[in-house]
Amino acid sequence: MSDNQIVEELVKIRELLAPKPEPPKEEEKPAGLWEEFIDFINKYGVIGLAIGFIIGSASKDLVNALVADILMPIILFFVPGGTWREATVTIGPVVLALGHFIGALLD
C-alpha cells in the first residue's frame, strides 16, 4: 500500500467516524388562532412589555398626584399670588428665573 492509499483510507475512516449533524427540527405550528396568539406571546415576551407599560402609566399618575397635591401647595405657600412661574432671584446684575426652572422641573 502506498502512502496516498493509506491517507485516502484514513480520510474515509475519519468521515465515517465524524458525528453527523442532526437534521433541523421542524417547529410544530399551532393549530388555531388562539394557539398562534399564545405562541406569539411566549416567543416575543409581550407580557413583560405590557407589564412595563402598565407600571409606567401608574407611575405617571403617581408623580402627577405628588406634584399637584403635595409640591404645588408648598410652593404656593412661599409664593403668594399664584405667579410662582414668574418668580426670580436677583443677585447683583444676575437675574435667576427660579420660577421657570421649578416649573420645568415639575412638568
Between CA 90 and CA 92 the distance in angstroms is 6
57-to-61, 74, 84 alpha-carbon distances in Å: 6, 25, 28
Q: Which of 48-53's residues contact partners 24+ apart within 8 Å by CB, and which partners?
A: none
What does the pLDDT look like over 17-75, one tens digit per residue? 888 888 877 776 657 888 888 888 888 888 888 888 899 888 988 988 988 899 888 87
Q: In this model, does residue 106 exceed pLDDT 80?
A: no
* pTM of the predicted protein model: 0.40
